[in-house]
Structure 1
Amino acid sequence: MSMGKNKDRKTRKRKRATRQQVADGAVARSGASIQIQRCRFVKWEVSGVVAASSSGSMVVVARRNGRVEVISVKGRSCVVGSLPGGGAPISSLALFRDLVAVGGLDGFIRFYEYRRRVSVKSLDSQGGAIWSLALSPDKQTIAVGCEDGSTKLVEVDELGNFNLRRLFKGATRVTALEWSEDSRFLFSGDSEGGIRKVEVPSGKILETAQLSSRNEDICVWCISYFKDSILTGDSRGIITVWNADMLLAEKEIAMEGLAGDVTSLCVLGNAIFAGAANGGVGLLERSVDGGWVIHRARRAHLGDVRAIVRYGSKDKVMSAGDDSVIAVQSLKSFLSEKSPIVFRPSAAPEEVPVVQFVNGAALALYDDRVEVWQLPFASISGSKPTMLLRLKPGDLGGSLVAASIAPDLGYLVVSGPARMASFQLKLNGTFEARAVYRGLPGIRKASFVSNGTVAAISMTGDSVMIMDMSAQVQKRWKIEDLVEEKSRLPSTYIQKLDVRVDGAALILTSDGSLHFISSTNSKPIVYRKASRTVLISLHPTEDSAAVVTRKTMSIITFNESECKKRIIARIPETAKSSAAGVSFVESCDSWALHGADFALLARASRTQEANPSSKRVRGVDASGVTSIPIEKSSNIIGMGKVHSGVLAVADWPWERVVQSLPPALPRKLFAI
């Protein structure tokens, strides 16, 4: 028995030493010409979820840092975009036609076109902080609940004009709203336990009801319309069933396993899911005789459940809360006591990576700051990275969305949703940052072309520009210069940009076209078959580029007469995340590609296309693709070359969060 214990102790000690070695930047050999340096010194800070909304195959999730994620649930679920936010705390969301309506505690409703990632309208509620939004079933009107007790309606006419009008006014903040199925009636709940039924066309209050308690005020947090009833969840932890016609209380339900405030309700067929402040998710079912079958709630989150919404067209719901976890489960899996599927957070492909690597240094981007780290040389065993700079650039209109550092580490560009700033860096023992300019419009992505020149995409996506560090624009490409069919201009924008040192540029537009502009010819070469492209990267010397879709990585060679495409790798079938970053590694003539849960190297010199019948690496000859081993419990947050022959991979130890989750939660994880 003692020999077995000693063996187990040695095994655990060896595993701890291996994990520490990886965390300190240990180097592993991958092939004969490149080394992989693992980095775990940058902590990825993931904000909790405060609101969510869904419509069809789209789900939007708002986080505490102001970021709004747009998630596609078609096929392989993935984050397909994010909105920069307006800097104010978010309380509620609604998917409105092709727009995302965002309710803020600063009293403004902001409408974003989620495909373009731009704000199209901002309305002052004229009633203080916004606490709730509700979209009518006919998708024509959004109800807005305000701090001063008023409920407003936002309507959009045929010309696209936004109209705001007041429906009625109560005495205290409106914390919950719900429409009837025919969009004729609106139900509201407030922070003092009041419930109202309002006829929308006339604005007349038809019925009122009041929840009461001897010892405390009651807040109505959520309302759901269910056939001929409405259900409310309140701060007592009770779900109340009301007759929808007369607002008469029929039943009060205290569900086992739900503790604290009932914060969210979601109707799914003949059942209702409920979430509470203790992280529990419970289920009610309407029986054939009109009664209610109450199922014991199970804890799915570590903190408050902030939202439960329908997930796709199937019988699934998604719950999210303060612990940043997104969990998906169906009615069948809940009743059979199967664990929900838990999604790891991950960045959208068009976003700036959390960690960028440049000439032996790493740039880490957070919500309110950036950090610059000096990485140790791969040949020095046991050495640790050193922080050179931690910079808070100040108010740039919200959480930071873009950052880039010059190859010689002499300049730094940082941007928020509204403004960008540039800093000159000087090394005096540690880095010192001096602001060069501030106040220019925000950008969605920046990339240094040389030590003193940066390329950027405007926040609206209508132009790209190359400018020096004195903010003088040297080159500019506008979307109207790239799109030949002018009728497509209103719906077309610039998605991606890559610029080479010699001035060559590659631009991806939302109509699925790649525009290659060489250093010697300003007339673009257009490749029009890139409709599903999510990542692009120019070859450093040749007129070719890597183009990545959600399934493959290809090389496109640009020529005036014909553009040729050949597949060099396919994303592994086991990968549950989409591609998030691609770069060329000169020392091994390969392209490095990674997602949240996979990383691989594909040789650029391959001349043969992949054999679809091969089963070794998702249809690609294994001799051309090298998989980089990644722990199942890690999220890759950045990858790039740091030294000659050394590729750095930064990953975030998701296992630390998983290990702290309640035992009832699953260990089955995949990334979106």
Structure 2
Amino acid sequence: SAGLDGEITEYDLENLRPRNSMEAYGGPIWTISSNRQGTLLAAGCEDGTVKMFEVLEDRIQFQRNLSRQKGRIISLSWHPTGSQIAAGMLDMIKIFDAETGHATHRLLVERGLQRTSNSQEVVVWSVAFLSDHTVISGDSAGKVQIWDGITGTLVRTHLLTKWDVLVLAVSPDESSVIAGTSEGTVVQFQFISSTVDQQDKQWVRTRTFKSHSHDVRALVHTDTAVVSGGVDTQLVVRPLLDKVEKNTQESAMRKIIFPHRNLVSCAKKAGLLLFQFSDHLELWRLGESDGNGKPGDSLPVKRNPEKLIQLKRKGEDNICCSALSPCGGWLAYATVSSVRLYRLQLDNNISINKVSKLPKELNSVHQLSFSSDSSKLFASSILSSVIVVSVKELECKYLHTFKPPSDSRQPVHLLSPSEDGKWLATANTGGEIHVFDVHKLKLHCSVPVCGSCPTAVSIHPFSCSLVSVHADQQIFEFSLKQKEFTAWSRKLQKQGMHPLWLQRDTPITRVTFNPNNPTHILLHDTSMFCIVDQILPLPEEKTRFYNQSVLQSLSLGERLRNSHAFKVCRNFQNLLCVDLMEDHSLVVVERPLLDIVSQLPAPVRQKKFAT
């Protein structure tokens, strides 16, 4: 990555932290692009230079500068062979020879269309260099232009919008190009022929997608879908219906609004919630209701929720993970470079004290969790390892490091201690799930890899079984005593999940259990929470998958015929947390989208009919 600070940073995707960083010495960096082989990196700088870096095994090394230009370099694209580089600038595109560093062509971008005046500069926000030496550009005048990179001539101009075309992406076979605009639209162009004999192919505008309310800043064009993201914080996956089978799970459009990880920690014994933001943490005490009622009633509030602490991060790094102990006495958070641990006193006078000396092993972690008795802190670290430290008063002592049995280097993204404090379940992004014995400080067993990455894991407090839910929406139950899948899990896999369950957009992010009813498993994603009753029959493919509000409106006979193990509640939306407290009350945390939208910058104004 690179930015206006003028530095280039290389990241270790196995350990989820920066690996190398170096100054480019060209002022702010506006764009970077690597060749197809990944051996060279080009950076477009404020001072008008394109700087070439060699990507080595252990570092990034400066190689040389291409010919300096008068204006800043806004966008870059390599020719697939690596022999040339196209650079978008103000009012022009330059094509450089990657060997000599000299500019071979200058393509002048026309001004003065629609909202821009003849005297206003046009910014070439994005360029794409194709194998046949076609150059495609998107600019601030709302145009997508097709250029002949060999002769340096303009072939065709497509006027898309009155506003900016910000980003371009090319399909793997180079037969399709998509463009993202400031209006929130994504426009597709295809290289097709208008005649039957398929002669004289040209770039034709074929589709327009409107999935965003604000600028589209990022695009990826796969073989079967268009993935877009922008200022409205949503990631949209839109399948291309001519590339996938219709009326299937693959053909459904998906919107990803929230991160697929827990941003809320719950202190079940203390009645506290910890909310994680990018630059601070908020600790809240839950309110209390007065009286009893029947299901569906709103109870009067006896005590409102109370914000106890707002803790700002130290430094510039964003908070990547946080945890609150079940007793409410400990709080920890981590950035990519440091870990901080605090002792909380919340009785009469609220106080927070930082633990000054932490074990050196806690230098860089990406997941945190406390044991059920709040005496231990687990932290996932490098090389798929998990560090165990004890916490007592204002002391933090290193105990052990759990290491995976295999040579796996994938980061651990899920930690789940058991209620009795004996077990710790871990899951990494490679799909591996390991269970460690915390008392004996050794590996207990490994769960067979199920093909899809786990999104939530939890250990049942009574049956000593591990329940895992995966990105493909499959559910497994693994007995830690027998070290095999349970009979219920095998039955579920043999019968198969209900099609409507598999078609859900978002993954399950939390699994918990009901102490009053050990056969109940509570699951939730961002759009619903579900109680799976292991006693009831599993839903068959033709069974109606009603949610509970619809089920209650049916007659008793119809209700009994449609009764099955999955009880779905959709009364709440945009869920970040659903958890059971020690008093058996259920806490539901929603994050209304209107709150997020209200914090966004205003979108570009569009004239609409009758307004």
Structure 1 pair 365/523, CA: closer, same or farther in 2 (3 Å)?
closer
Aligned pair partner of 1:325 in 231, 234, 250: 234
Gaps of 5+ in 1: 1-101, 665-672
Return the offset for 1:577.
1.5
Partner Cα distance (2:357, 2:106) in 1: 53
Specify the alignment match of 1:527 in structure 2: 446
Specify the alignment match of 1:586 in structure 2: 515
Partner Cα distance (2:167, 2:2) in 1: 17
Give the SS at the match of 1:152: strand
Partner Cα distance (2:462, 2:207) in 1: 63
Specify the alignment match of 1:651 in structure 2: 590
Specify the alignment match of 2:182 in structure 1: 277
Return the offset for 1:624.
7.0
Specify the alignment match of 1:347 in structure 2: 259
Structure 1 pair 518/543, CA: closer, same or farther in 2 (3 Å)?
farther
> Which residue identity does 1:125 align to in structure 2?
A
Contact in 2 for aligned 1:412/1:423 (Cα 8 Å): yes
Contact in 1 for aligned 2:420/2:461 (Cα 8 Å): no
Specify the alignment match of 2:549 in structure 1: none
Specify the alignment match of 1:147 in structure 2: 46
Partner Cα distance (1:127, 1:623) in 2: 67
Contact in 1 for aligned 2:366/2:380 (Cα 8 Å): yes
Return the offset for 1:474.
4.2
Alignment of 1:576 onto 2:505? yes
Between 360-369 and 104-113, the greater mean CA deviation after superposition: 104-113
Structure 1 pair 556/294, CA: closer, same or farther in 2 (3 Å)?
closer
Partner Cα distance (1:166, 1:397) in 2: 31
User: Where do 1:384-423 residues align within 5 Å?
Assistant: 385-423=304-342
Alignment of 1:236 onto 2:141? yes
Structure 1 pair 411/215, CA: closer, same or farther in 2 (3 Å)?
same
Aligned pair partner of 1:364 in 267, 272, 275: 275
> Which residue identity does 2:589 align to in structure 1?
A
Structure 1 pair 445/636, CA: closer, same or farther in 2 (3 Å)?
same
Return the offset for 1:413.
1.4
Aligned pair partner of 1:625 in 555, 560, 565: 565
Specify the alignment match of 1:203 in structure 2: 101
> Which residue identity does 2:162 align to in structure 1?
A
Specify the alignment match of 2:114 in structure 1: none
Give the SS at the match of 1:266: strand
Aligned pair partner of 1:224 in 128, 133, 154: 128
Contact in 2 for aligned 1:236/1:262 (Cα 8 Å): yes
Specify the alignment match of 1:260 in structure 2: 163
Specify the alignment match of 1:57 in structure 2: none
Partner Cα distance (2:254, 2:540) in 1: 32
Partner Cα distance (1:173, 1:304) in 2: 22
Give the SS at the match of 1:181: coil
Aligned pair partner of 1:457 in 365, 377, 380: 380
Partner Cα distance (2:33, 2:564) in 1: 52
- For CA contacts below 8 A with separation 6 or more, give which structure has more relative contact order: 1
Gaps of 5+ in 2: 112-117, 194-199, 244-250, 292-298, 547-560, 607-611
More strand per residue: 1
Structure 1 pair 526/594, CA: closer, same or farther in 2 (3 Å)?
same
User: Where do 1:48-447 residues align within 5 Å?
Assistant: 102-114=1-13, 116-157=15-56, 162-168=60-66, 169-190=68-89, 192-211=90-109, 214-226=118-130, 227-255=132-160, 258-268=161-171, 269-286=174-191, 288=193, 289=200, 293-294=204-205, 299-310=210-221, 312-314=222-224, 316-329=225-238, 341=253, 343-348=255-260, 351-354=261-264, 356=266, 358-359=268-269, 360-377=271-288, 380=291, 381-383=299-301, 385-427=304-346, 431-437=350-356, 441-447=363-369
Q: What do you get for the CA RMSD once the two structures are aligned?
A: 3.8
User: In percent, how many aligned pairs have the same letter?
Assistant: 19
Structure 1 pair 367/520, CA: closer, same or farther in 2 (3 Å)?
closer
Contact in 2 for aligned 1:369/1:390 (Cα 8 Å): no
Give the SS at the match of 1:103: coil
Structure 1 pair 517/305, CA: closer, same or farther in 2 (3 Å)?
closer
Partner Cα distance (2:319, 2:421) in 1: 27
Cα deviation 1:198-231 (Å, max 9, x = unaligned): 1112323212244465422332111123544312
Specify the alignment match of 2:554 in structure 1: none
Cα deviation 1:319-370 (Å, max 9, x = unaligned): 3221123334466689xxxx9935031322xx33345353322221111122
Partner Cα distance (2:51, 2:440) in 1: 55
Aligned pair partner of 1:547 in 452, 468, 490: 468
Partner Cα distance (1:443, 1:342) in 2: 31
Specify the alignment match of 1:80 in structure 2: none
Contact in 2 for aligned 1:223/1:230 (Cα 8 Å): yes
Give the SS at the match of 1:171: coil
Return the offset for 1:271.
4.3
The normalised TM-score by structure 1 is 0.70
Structure 1 pair 494/292, CA: closer, same or farther in 2 (3 Å)?
closer
Partner Cα distance (1:281, 1:502) in 2: 52
Specify the alignment match of 1:49 in structure 2: none
Structure 1 pair 599/566, CA: closer, same or farther in 2 (3 Å)?
farther
Partner Cα distance (1:284, 1:611) in 2: 44
Between 457-466 and 230-239, the greater mean CA deviation after superposition: 457-466
Structure 1 pair 520/402, CA: closer, same or farther in 2 (3 Å)?
closer
Contact in 2 for aligned 1:504/1:516 (Cα 8 Å): no
Structure 1 pair 171/411, CA: closer, same or farther in 2 (3 Å)?
same
Structure 1 pair 515/425, CA: closer, same or farther in 2 (3 Å)?
same
Contact in 1 for aligned 2:377/2:390 (Cα 8 Å): yes
Return the offset for 1:379.
5.0
Return the offset for 1:506.
2.0
> Which residue identity does 1:506 align to in structure 2?
L
How many residues are paired up?
539
